[in-house]
Amino acid sequence: MSRRLTTYLRSTILSRVLVHRFKGEEEAFAAREAALADTVYCLTFSEERRAMMNSLPEGWLPETNAVHATISGGYQSLSLADQRRFPYDRNGGCLGVYDGGTPVAVTYETLRADRKVHREAKAQARAAAEAVLESVTTVGALLTRWPEVAPFVPDEEVVHLPALPLDSVNRLLGLGPIGQDAKRDAS
C-alpha cells in the first residue's frame, strides 16, 4: 500500500524541488544586491572615514547590514553581505539619491529587471509542479508519473505512540471485555 500524498507532503516536495532549481540563482541575486549595497556604502563614506569608523571600539557606532538610498525615484533598502558601522546621524537614513543614468541606478534597474524574470520563471515552475502534485493522491502514483522527483520525497516517518495499558484505558472509558460489550449491546 502506498503512502497518501498529504498537503504537508505536497508542500514539502514542492519546496524541495523549487530550492533545488532556484537556490543558486537566488544566492546570485543576493550577492549582486550586496555588491550594489557595498557600492552605495563606499560612495557615501570615504575609505578614510570607513577606517576611522572601524577603528572605534566595539559598540561605539551602530552596526547594520542594510543601506537605504533613493534609486531611480524610489526609496530602496539594499542588504549588505555583512554588518557595517554607520555614524549615528546616517544610521537607517537615506545615504544618497541616484537618478536614472548613474551607475548605481543602471545596476539597480538591471537587477530589478532580472529579478522580475526570475520571479516569473519561478511562478511558472511552481504552477507546473503543483499541477503534477495535485493530479495524484499517493506517493506511489506520483513516483510512477514523475520518477525524477523521488530524491525530493521525504522518507516515511514512523510515529511511535506511547504504549498505554488497555486495561486502564478500558476502565477509564467504562468498557469491559469484548464479550461483555457484545452482551450489553444485544440486550
**3-class SS of residue 98:** strand
Residue 77: CA count within 13 A, CB half-sphere: 6
pLDDT of residue 158: 66
Per-residue pLDDT of 119-140, as tens digits, reads 999 999 999 999 999 999 999 9
The pLDDT confidence band at residue 185, using thresholds 50, 70 and 90, is low
pLDDT of residue 74: 92
The pLDDT confidence band at residue 49, using thresholds 50, 70 and 90, is very high
The pLDDT confidence band at residue 14, using thresholds 50, 70 and 90, is very high
Mean pLDDT of the chain: 90
Task: Please give the residue that has the higher pLDDT: either 2 or 16.
Answer: 16
Dihedral pair phi/psi, residue 97, rounded to 5°: -120, 125
Angle subtended at Cα 146 by Cα 144 and Cα 147, rounded to the nearest 5 degrees:
70
Is 70 exceeded by the pLDDT of residue 179? no
Is 60 exceeded by the pLDDT of residue 89? yes
The pLDDT confidence band at residue 155, using thresholds 50, 70 and 90, is confident
Q: Which residue has the cell 520563471?
A: 121
Highest-pLDDT range among 37-41, 98-102, 166-170, 177-181: 37-41
Report yes or no: 143 and 153 within 8 Å, Cβ to Cβ: yes
Burial, 187: exposed, middle or buried (Cβ in 10 Å; 0-12, 13-18, 19+)?
exposed
pLDDT of residue 159: 67
Residue 84 belongs to what H/E stretch?
Answer: strand 74-85
Q: Which residue has the cell 525615484?
A: 73
End-to-end CA distance of the chain: 40
Is 90 exceeded by the pLDDT of residue 15? yes
- Mean pLDDT, residues 16-32 taken together: 97
- Report which DSSP code applies to 150: G
